[in-house]
Structure 1
Amino acid sequence: MPASISLTGLCWSTPDDTPLFTDLTLAFGPERTGIVGRNGSGKSTLLRLISGEVSPVSGQVRVTGVLAAMRQDAMAQAGEALADLFGVRPALDLLGRAGAGLARTDELMVADWTLPARIETALLRCGLSLPPETPLAALSGGQRSRAALAAAIFAEPDILLLDEPTNNLDRAGRKAVIDLLRGWRGGAIVASHDRELLEEMDAIVELTSLGVTRYGGNYSAFRERKDVEREAAARDLAEAEEARREADRRARQASERKARKDSAGHKARARGDQPRIAMNTARNRAEASGGAGKRLREARRAGAEETLAAAREKVEVLQPLRMDIAPIGLAPGKTVLRLEGLTGGYTGDQPIIRDLSLTMTGPERVVLTGPNGSGKTTLLRLITGRCEVQSGRVDVAVTFALLDQHAGLLDPDLTLRDNFLRLSPLAGLHDAHAALARFGFRAADALRLAGRLSGGERLRAGLACVLQAVPQPQLLILDEPTNHLDLDGIAALEAAMAAYDGAVLAVSHDTAFLRSLAPTRFISLERHANVDDSTL
């Protein structure tokens, strides 16, 4: 029987009892399916429900075949080595004892002598060549992501569950993941915002507040269908608004006619032109007819209002997110940033960054490049004072803001509004609510705790606090800004960056985002970084 997953009548709520899935019914077969949706729509939760990591409130999850999930928390396990990530430490220990002549006969009978070769093959498929005893703590974020993927495919599953598998990966790492999925013969369910990766999918499943919709084809086919749906939703809204206006017009006309008839009836009574009994009969008949007409008009008006509300909701769900920012007015000749012989990062005799000089002038857009481990994030920490400079000089001559991929500038114990006010002490309550609303956090959403947001929501809130800061920064320092952002968020960020007239210093491996950013130059850190090429 081919591998499959079926979800029937699935219901699940967040810890604060907010419904996330209600009566969800969905099926997956032996194909590559991308899961997309706005931040907070439940992509990661859906994978956790499928894998059995969490249980639904009601409904059923049926799985045929073997599942394997890529562990996103591999970097958080203290004291673990690659062998632990693969779940093979006891088996490798047995091989070690066997090689030293210390294993019992019964142990030798169950020893898996192919294990080292299979581990090596899985790692190589993901672009790594490391011994199983390598500590996870010694790996870069990108290496840990590759190792987690290698551990998932090592089990030779029928269906892979991957949650943002290209986050933290450099260009070579992203290519390794894409090549792996391109040649994958089993099923795969991939929650991702990586547009290049989503182009490799056979189907796209979108999660929205309106429900779950499956689209055949890759990301480009999905976007074409979404554009058609958005246009149709706009037409439906226009028609619903016109129907509501027509219902209002007819109700107004009926009310005016009744007022004229009532006025004529009052005048006739005053003149006494007709017998009283005839006038009373006519009045009762008119009232009955008028009451029925009024109920019909009210029903039509209520129907028009309901249709209009549904059309508005659909348009709001389909409407792209906007991130509006005001002009900065940075002068073209203004020195923004100057680095002279900068050396630093970690301590001791092996600094990560060595003897780097750089000058940014005016609204330049500079992108730092280099493989995982070359010191891109370290350099940003040196520039912003979050890491000690060993020698050289750093001069940031304008107001700046740093946004990392985890939105570390937000205090998790504060609301979004209070975070905004903490970061922009010159702003008022109205400024905070208006800024957050522009980034999709309207009304009560501004009072949500930052620590309870999804990764993408947190990054979007961080962007609101940075791009709407009072005063606004003249230099934006972005460290993998599209990591964790949903597809609408990335599109909105690209539009905002196109309109931004300040300087930008960015680190990103997102090819599509970099193309949209239109950098004025690229700075490679490989010759300025202390990098062990054997570990990249």
Structure 2
Amino acid sequence: MSTSLTCTSLSFTWPDGTPVLDGLDVAFGPGRTGLVGVNGSGKSTLLKLIVGELTPSDGTVKAAGDIGYLPQNVTLDTALRVDEALGIAARRAALHAIEAGDAAVEHFETVGDDWDVEERALATLGELGLGHIGLDRTVGELSGGESVLLRLAALLLLRPDVLLLDEPTNNLDLYARRRLYAAVASWPGVLIVVSHDRELLELVDQIADLRSGEITWYGGNFSAYEDALAVEQEAAERMVRVAEADFRKQKRELADAQVKLARRKRYGQRMWDQKREPKIVMGARKRAAQESAGKHRIMHEEKLAEARERLDEAVEAVRDDEEVRIDLPYTAVPPGRNVLTLRDLELAYGARVDGLFDLRGPERIALIGRNGAGKTTLLRTVAGELAPVAGEAETHVPLRFLPQRLDVLDGELTVAENVARFAPGATNNRIRARLARFLFRGARADQRVATLSGGERFRAALAALMLAEPAPQLLMLDEPTNNLDMASVHRLTTALESYEGALVVASHDLPFLESLGITRWLLLEEGTLRETTPEELGDPA
């Protein structure tokens, strides 16, 4: 397989001295590669180094051909026309001038061989579900998700040899995601995608796992990677058990040797005291015994040190798979109890819930719909952050709402101090004991929230809400998996398994929703809320 992109001895350190990569060697060949790793492992940094947005402190990047890059946060000038954002405005203008009878040489030079550029652009927009926007509208008229797809359309038109995508589905609704999946599945060249989106990672040919500054390769898609990882982890945990047994054995042997040496020393001392042999013979025997004892002790200490090293290596090979394990009995809601009532609710920006809607007992509801349909507006209205235009939203149990921005936390306070704000009656010891179950142990609970990674910040916000007093019996989450790595998504799923109250989750991430044991699927579409099924969502048309 020919190599298209090579990084040699690539190193990068942030200005504050934090190292990210140190001498990374990696080569990407043809096909679709999923680049995975925990938050902060350097995935996005690596892509920025490849495209030249960041300068490595050492090492080189070589690419066989052009590179296209879709960053995590797409920003386009809102005044640009669509054809300008696609990079075809000049060729399109030249074509129109020629069609109007202007035979100036510069027009033909501008068009070159690209006589069908307008048709290709419209076809590409159509494939991504943007056929309705045309080429003359401005970027400011598009939604955030449409802007992401427009940037992708521009890259597809350029036909780069290497395409880099950084969390491309973060701001896309379910339908836009399906369009992007189709584009990725049909990509003919080299593609490297950083994503926490499981459905997207199921489309790749291989997984590159960036961990501790090194990349490990796994053939196949994300499911194959998980299977291989499970086998690896089982073997690694078995090696830990073997190394632990060996370490205990070497400790016992060293202790036994020390006892024997002590007995021999006492025996030699008695012989010396009793002077049963000539002094010169006893002196030689004592020196030989001391020399032998020293060698014996050193041999056992070396064996123990080697056993400890093997144990450390075995432990290092086992990944940190700590899970959030919590017990929240006070969140339980009896079956049939009324939790939330919506009556003829009309929301700001036009969406509405006609008639009567009840949420009862420990139901788990998935709230889905296109970007801009009003899902966040509905959640904020139920949470009391927005006043309804008409009708009412009444909650009958304690409610907590976790917005996309995670702005429930004060960045200047520590994790423990933030939790204390939501549970003012709890003692410091109680707060810390409960935070430990969210993996904030000891000094971690004293970290300022502003210094936390994205996954840690989300976990801290979830802890603050779920440990609040009174305990929330209705929990609402808005796009909770955005910007979370796969390990953090797994931890969130585990935490929510322990939650016994009613749950409402707005998300475009179908695998995540299905993992939560959703009992009702609600679709907010064309301004109205209605029941649906996962099967009905399978068709993006």
Per the TM superposition, whether the score is higher than 0.5 is yes
Deviations along 1:154-173, whole A, 9 cap, x unmatched?
A: 21111111111222323322
> Which residue does the alignment assign to 2:473?
474
Amino acid at match of 2:222: Y
Amino acid at match of 2:326: D
C-alpha contact (below 8 Å) 2:39/2:454 kept by paired residues: yes
C-alpha contact (below 8 Å) 2:323/2:494 kept by paired residues: no
C-alpha contact (below 8 Å) 1:125/1:150 kept by paired residues: no
Distance 1:75 1:59, change over 3 A: closer
Q: How does 1:349-498 map to 2 (within 5 A)?
A: 351-353=350-352, 355=354, 357-427=356-426, 429-430=428-429, 433-434=432-433, 437-498=436-497
| 1:190 to 2:189 alignment | no
Amino acid at match of 1:280: G
Q: 2:124 aligns with which of 117, 122, 134?
A: 122
What's the C-alpha RMSD, in Å, of the aligned pairs?
Answer: 2.9
Distance 1:428 1:85, change over 3 A: farther
Q: How far is the alpha carbon of 1:486 from its aligned partner?
A: 1.5
C-alpha contact (below 8 Å) 1:70/1:151 kept by paired residues: no
Amino acid at match of 1:492: R
C-alpha contact (below 8 Å) 2:325/2:498 kept by paired residues: no
Amino acid at match of 2:125: L
Deviations along 1:487-536, whole A, 9 cap, x unmatched?
A: 22222222222232111011122222222212221222225449xxxxx9
- 3-state DSSP class of the match of 1:525? strand
C-alpha contact (below 8 Å) 1:69/1:162 kept by paired residues: yes
Cα distance in 2 for partners of 1:13, 1:521 equals 47
Deviations along 1:338-394, whole A, 9 cap, x unmatched?
A: 211111224xxxx23354642212211111232232211221121112333211112
Cα distance in 2 for partners of 1:424, 1:300 equals 52
Q: 1:289 aligns with which of 287, 292, 296?
A: 292
Which runs of 5 or more structure 1 residues have no equivalent in the other structure? Answer: 531-535
Cα distance in 2 for partners of 1:209, 1:19 equals 11
- 3-state DSSP class of the match of 1:185? coil
C-alpha contact (below 8 Å) 1:7/1:59 kept by paired residues: yes
Q: How far is the alpha carbon of 1:424 from its aligned partner?
A: 4.2
> Which residue does the alignment assign to 1:533?
none
Q: How far is the alpha carbon of 1:2 from its aligned partner?
A: 6.2
Amino acid at match of 1:29: G
Amino acid at match of 1:398: V
Number of aligned residues: 525
Cα distance in 2 for partners of 1:498, 1:19 equals 36
Amino acid at match of 1:498: E
Larger deviation, residues 377-386 vs 223-232: 377-386
- 3-state DSSP class of the match of 2:384? coil
C-alpha contact (below 8 Å) 1:74/1:136 kept by paired residues: no
Q: 2:312 aligns with which of 306, 309, 320?
A: 309
Cα distance in 2 for partners of 1:278, 1:303 equals 37
Question: Percent identity of the aligned residues?
Answer: 39
C-alpha contact (below 8 Å) 1:34/1:205 kept by paired residues: yes
Distance 1:30 1:433, change over 3 A: farther
Cα distance in 2 for partners of 1:108, 1:520 equals 61
| 1:150 to 2:153 alignment | yes
Deviations along 1:441-489, whole A, 9 cap, x unmatched?
A: 5555545554455544433333333334454322111112222222222
Cα distance in 2 for partners of 1:381, 1:93 equals 46
- 3-state DSSP class of the match of 1:16? coil
Which runs of 5 or more structure 2 residues have no equivalent in the other structure? Answer: 530-540
Amino acid at match of 2:388: V
Distance 1:356 1:244, change over 3 A: farther
Cα distance in 1 for partners of 2:139, 2:450 equals 26
Deviations along 1:102-153, whole A, 9 cap, x unmatched?
A: x893553345464433322221121112123434343333323322322221
Q: How far is the alpha carbon of 1:6 from its aligned partner?
A: 0.3
Q: 1:335 aligns with which of 338, 342, 347?
A: 338
C-alpha contact (below 8 Å) 1:323/1:496 kept by paired residues: yes
Cα distance in 1 for partners of 2:29, 2:245 equals 44
Larger deviation, residues 514-523 vs 182-191: 514-523
> Which residue does the alignment assign to 2:209?
206
Distance 1:307 1:176, change over 3 A: same
Amino acid at match of 1:502: G
Amino acid at match of 2:55: S
Q: 1:322 aligns with which of 306, 311, 324?
A: 324
C-alpha contact (below 8 Å) 1:240/1:311 kept by paired residues: yes
Distance 1:158 1:325, change over 3 A: farther
